Amino acid sequence: MQYKILITLLSIGLLTGCSTSKVVTIDEVEERFLDTMTITPSDEEMAETNYKRPVYQATATRKHDLLHTSLDVRFDWEKQHLLGKATLTLKPYFYPTNLLTLDAKGFDFHKVSILKNGVKSDTEYDYDGLQITIGLDKEYKATEEYKVYIEYTAKPNELDVEGSAAITSAKGLYFINPTGEDKTKPIQLWTQGETEASSCWFPTIDKPNERCTQEIKITVADKFQTLSNGVMKSSNKNADGTRTDYYVMDKPHAPYLFMMAVGEYAVVKESWEGIPLEYYVEPEYRPFAKEIFNHTPEMLTFFSDILGVKYPWSKYAQVIVRDFVSGAMENTTGVIFGEFVQKTDRELIDNDNDRIVAHELIHHWFGDLVTCESWSNLPLNESFANYGEYMWMEYKDGKDAAENHRMNEINGYMSQDNRGSRHDLIDFEYNNKEDMFDGHSYNKGGAILHMLRNYVGDDAFYASLNHYLQENLYSDVEAHELRIAFEDITGEDLNWFFNQWFFDQGHPEMEYSYTYSGNNLKVTVEQKQDAKSSVPVYRILMPIDIYTSKGKTRENVWVDERKQTFTFNVSEKPSLVNVDPEYTLLCQYKDVSKTTEEYVYQYYNGKEFLDRYKAIEKLQSSDLPAAKRVIVDALNDPFWVIRRKALNALGEGQEDKVMAMGKSDKHSKVRTSALKKIGQTGNKAYVGKLKSIIDTDRAYNVVGAALSSLNEIDDTEALTYASKLEKEDNSTILSAVGDIYAASGDAKHLSFFENAIPGMSGFGIFSFFEQYSSLLKNADAPTINKSMGMMKEMASNKDVWTWKRFCAAKTINDIRGSLVERLGEETDEAKRNSLQEQITSFAGMLTDIQKTETNKRLLGMYKNFK
């Protein structure tokens, strides 16, 4: 799964207090060093009368082995029910038994029977709303298979389920605009199984250490396309105008990876080595489908080759759905993406989908083919998916791009860590399994794999991954199986590496310094992480690069104490000393002795992206001419992130150069940054150039930045352009237009926002609603009242996207706040009364919205409303 949307939201500060930033509570008893599987309380703890056993999230015990699931489903769209028939083939896992317990959340059961020789015999069962326990017709041995047949109605909307961090709710099956009332949105249906929500639509053993083959018949109105796991074997029209599509998945996979999607799609097909590739997009995106899922065939080749295991499944389909609860989900052969990936060719210039497409694809090895046995072991899925993004970028876009990505991922982990959410990577102590979808399982895990690769070397790394996959094909794994695979290949005991990185928490905080005298270079490396914390002292094989006039030499030292000084005989004072020169170590670090001159030297002589990036960061505040020259030279760096960094660090007096980059830099993000700077000059000489960029550049972000800058320099011209662009169906442009209209303060532009909001999707809505309410604040009472009525309706409508509902409610809250302010300044009694009336009415609306709300997360956020 992909959780990045949440990180974006967090960074704009909207989810303060939501479950992503929740600190896993560690009470006194648990706050001990926990090794992998052994939890042994100390004697003192045992002696305590109130001793409480620490939480240990164990892998589910396997009592039965689910071998095959056969489903036949149709839907009651009005009631949002699934009408299902399930035939499950099972056998006891080891011990004989005459009882079977299945997960089945919120079902009505119509028939529960044992199926033997084609005959269904009803049997007794108990049901508690979450699990059904079925009496078998006899005691079965592990060598004996049996079948159960169940007819049921699944009612996902009538479940009371808790929302979570990566997944905004967990009802398994989602009907989108089921009765077609909302004309701005297609009718769709889709599923989301991870973590344990597949059992909201079919009875199963809903644990990641279970796996089975699958077949499914889906009956829908003929106008719909369907998608499910495996290959479509038949598609038959029925007498009642419906159609039944039949899918067979002949390789076993975990129940959380089962999927369905239904909607009016354009399906674009191609193939890779005889395996069908399918791209499901909304019909108007048909021309862009291959670009949306760009490089899919090349990625299949890349991952198959580098892992040495050919893509193991019979199909690869990717589908975009509305209102998805996560970023994307790696359902085997049927990946679901949120609509944010659905873009036109122009939108794809600014942001392609490579990373997320690579992420979901490599999950088909790490996650789908080899699956984490428990949610504590989730990093075995997500760290590889995260690192798969790096691997692909390194291959396709070059090492600089991959390293820039890794830096951002590490920053993501560090910011989560700074919020106090720290735990072992393989975390047996989580409170809620959904908490595992965080900056540890993804970002930190990816960074750890990168360290492992650098330690063992590329050949050993990929050989070990190959060995790990081959040893565990179609089965479940825990982290030790990864360690053993690396040990088998390299011949080295790697417990030390796994213990500190996989089974412990935190990261080193390093301080590097050096002195030189009398041919002796002394390099001091100190691990400064709090000695009282549970973060260990790390063992690290640390390279040190020493640059002199004779070139660069590399020394490798073992760092395994808090503070160590290493002495090297060097015949001249080095120009530069770089500890951890490839920035491999996951750590916070400080170079305490590096001078400005050394950073200048580093910019020109270091080979790594971070050599240049960090040099610019340090030099941008320096007045030394050599430092200033680095910034100017970096404007011509081959890598766009460095050019953009330099551009943002550039002092005054370079405006023409900035304008030239805004017009013709190869990368749209550099052009965008350059144009944003042009607005700050206020120089009318640039008006003509900005207008020509608005007319000609293909990238929306660039056009949006040019428009915003034009507004800063010449707001009359900007308003003319805004009215020309307000029909563009692109959130960046609409947001730039919205900015201009909001700044104009003219209430006649309110209708622009009101017309655009219903069709808008994606997280651009947050700023768009802000612009709307800033303009609305100054409108007259009838206009405000009318708008608040609209906002209330939107906020209360369950068919509207969660975040849009949130924004609508927030608008009411913002306007109410601005009226409270106005009331404070108003002295006229009549005006005071009418303001008071509005304030009371809007407060009432917010109370009503909260009454109808069932989404616990939204309710939590509403609590911050004043």
CA-based torsion, 7, 12, 18, 24: positive or negative: positive
Q: Cβ atoms within 10 A of the Cβ of 32, count?
A: 15
CA pair distance 447, 425, nearest whole angstrom: 11
**Interaction between residue 1 and Zn ion (CB under 5 A):** yes
Nearer to Zn ion, 385 or 510 (CB): 385
Nearer to Zn ion, 1 or 306 (CB): 1
Nearer to Zn ion, 1 or 535 (CB): 1
Placement of tokens 């769709």 in the chain: 188
Three-state DSSP class for residue 71: strand
**Cβ 308 to Zn ion, closest distance in Å?**
22
* Residue 732, token pair as written in the block: 């960046």
Nearer to Zn ion, 382 or 714 (CB): 382
* Residue 262, token pair as written in the block: 């239904």
Give strand pairing partners of 243. Answer: 220, 237
Q: What are phi and psi of 178, to 5 degrees?
A: -60, -30
CA pair distance 371, 509, nearest whole angstrom: 33
**Cβ 190 to Zn ion, closest distance in Å?**
17
Kindly identify the residues of this chain, within the stretch 385-404, that bind Zn ion according to CB under 5 A: 385
Nearest to 538 by CA among 644, 455, 655: 455
Nearest to 631 by CA among 666, 676, 599, 605: 599
**Do 386 and 413 contact (CB within 8 A), yes or no?**
no
Nearer to Zn ion, 260 or 361 (CB): 361
**Interaction between residue 356 and Zn ion (CB under 5 A):** no
**Cβ 329 to Zn ion, closest distance in Å?**
8
**Cβ 473 to Zn ion, closest distance in Å?**
20
**Cβ 474 to Zn ion, closest distance in Å?**
19
- Length of the chain counted residue by residue: 866
CA 540 to chain centre: 30
**CA distances (Å), origin 472, targets 384, 457, 465:** 15, 22, 11
**Cβ 2 to Zn ion, closest distance in Å?**
5
Of the ranges 158-166, 374-382, 498-506, 849-857, which one interacts with Zn ion (CB under 5 A)? 374-382
- According to DSSP, residue 182 is labeled -
Three-state DSSP class for residue 202: coil
Nearer to Zn ion, 361 or 791 (CB): 361
Of the ranges 379-387, 555-563, 648-656, 697-705, which one interacts with Zn ion (CB under 5 A)? 379-387
Nearer to Zn ion, 148 or 357 (CB): 357
**Cβ 381 to Zn ion, closest distance in Å?**
6
CA 224 to chain centre: 29
Kindly identify the residues of this chain, within the stretch 681-700, that bind Zn ion according to CB under 5 A: none
Nearer to Zn ion, 385 or 410 (CB): 385
Nearer to Zn ion, 370 or 661 (CB): 370
**Cβ 385 to Zn ion, closest distance in Å?**
4
CA pair distance 307, 361, nearest whole angstrom: 13
Of the ranges 1-9, 485-493, 507-515, 749-757, which one interacts with Zn ion (CB under 5 A)? 1-9
Residue nearest Zn ion, CB atom distance: 385
Residue 306: which residues within 8 A CB-CB, separation 6 or more?
391, 395, 462
Region of 221 (left: φ > 0; alpha: ψ -120 to 50; beta: rest) is beta
**Cβ 311 to Zn ion, closest distance in Å?**
17
Nearer to Zn ion, 385 or 463 (CB): 385
Nearer to Zn ion, 382 or 545 (CB): 382
Placement of tokens 């939108």 in the chain: 347
- According to DSSP, residue 18 is labeled S
**Cβ 441 to Zn ion, closest distance in Å?**
9
Placement of tokens 């899918």 in the chain: 247
Nearest to 779 by CA among 815, 820, 730: 815
- In single-letter form, the type of residue at position 191 comes to T
**Do 757 and 800 contact (CB within 8 A), yes or no?**
no
Kindly identify the residues of this chain, within the stretch 247-306, that bind Zn ion according to CB under 5 A: none
Kindly identify the residues of this chain, within the stretch 129-168, that bind Zn ion according to CB under 5 A: none
Nearer to Zn ion, 189 or 385 (CB): 385
Nearer to Zn ion, 82 or 465 (CB): 465
**For every residue of 329-367, which 3-state class applies, written as one string?**
ECCCCEEEEEHHHCCCHHHHHHCCCHHHHHHHHHCCCEC
**Cβ 382 to Zn ion, closest distance in Å?**
5
Nearer to Zn ion, 112 or 385 (CB): 385
Q: What are phi and psi of 669, to 5 degrees?
A: -70, -30
**Cβ 1 to Zn ion, closest distance in Å?**
4
The DSSP annotation for 220-252 comes to EETT-EEEESSEEEEEEE-TTSEEEEEEEEEEE
Of the ranges 376-384, 658-666, 704-712, 725-733, which one interacts with Zn ion (CB under 5 A)? 376-384
Nearer to Zn ion, 385 or 447 (CB): 385
Nearer to Zn ion, 437 or 538 (CB): 437
Nearer to Zn ion, 385 or 737 (CB): 385
Nearer to Zn ion, 362 or 815 (CB): 362
Number of chain residues interacting with Zn ion (CB under 5 A): 3
**Cβ 399 to Zn ion, closest distance in Å?**
23
**Cβ 508 to Zn ion, closest distance in Å?**
27
CA pair distance 645, 611, nearest whole angstrom: 13
**Cβ 367 to Zn ion, closest distance in Å?**
7
CA angle 65, 245, 149 (to 5 degrees): 35
CA-based torsion, 138, 139, 145, 146: positive or negative: positive
- According to DSSP, residue 178 is labeled T
**Cβ 384 to Zn ion, closest distance in Å?**
9
Of the ranges 189-197, 378-386, 461-469, 509-517, which one interacts with Zn ion (CB under 5 A)? 378-386
**CA distances (Å), origin 725, targets 701, 704, 732:** 13, 10, 11
Of the ranges 245-253, 380-388, 401-409, 742-750, which one interacts with Zn ion (CB under 5 A)? 380-388
When computed from its CA atoms, the radius of gyration of the chain, rounded to whole angstroms, is: 30
Binding mask 239-258 for Zn ion (x = CB under 5 A): --------------------
Residue 447: which residues within 8 A CB-CB, separation 6 or more?
406, 409, 410, 413, 586
- Is the link from the previous residue into 811 a cis peptide, with omega within 30 of 0? no
**Do 514 and 524 contact (CB within 8 A), yes or no?**
yes
**Cβ 507 to Zn ion, closest distance in Å?**
22
**Cβ 365 to Zn ion, closest distance in Å?**
12
Of the ranges 382-390, 391-399, 666-674, 841-849, which one interacts with Zn ion (CB under 5 A)? 382-390
Placement of tokens 């951890």 in the chain: 580
Summarize as ranges the residues that interact with Zn ion (CB under 5 A): 1, 382, 385
